[in-house]
Amino acid sequence: MALRQPESMSDVVYFTRRVLEPKGRIVAWAFKIDCPKCKKALMGKPVEKGKVRIRATEYVCPACGYSEEKDEHEKKLKVSVEYTCPSCSNESEAEIPYVRKTWQGVKAFIFECGKCGEKIGITKKMKAPKVKKGKAVPVIDDDDD
């Protein structure tokens, strides 16, 4: 299934490009959708004085002024993902709902590798998954003592 690539950042609500340790990568995006009322323009966050309101609680059609609540609108969106699995190196694509769920203690878009079935999470920027208690983190000691 060949996913449609965004041509411009103005076409998308969400876009990220990440590297997963040890050998994976993710490119994910969610396209804006057409206005359900007039079908002439793409819904987006409101623009005030030439700037997009970042923490807006609604999406607005620039053509007709129709608005939808953020939660209602985001349920209609899909996240398209191109990835290389960090555990099996499988290169594939996925399409998931635009819903963040808790994954390893952090909110993330979650999908499974099509080959090995490992769950992969796309967290918000700079959020690291939490280490479970009782699981020791390996420490590499290079000292010759």
Average per-residue pLDDT in the chain?
Answer: 85
User: What's the CA gap between 140 and 33, in Å, rounded?
Assistant: 49
Question: Which among 99, 90, 80, 91 has a CA at the least distance from the CA of 5?
Answer: 80
DSSP assigned state of 129 = P
The tens digit of pLDDT for each residue in 21-71 reads: 888 899 999 999 999 999 889 999 998 888 888 888 999 998 888 999 999
Q: What is the DSSP string of 73-120?
A: HHTT-EEEEEEE-TTT--EEEEEEES--EEETTEEEEEEE-TTT--EE
Query: pTM value?
Result: 0.79
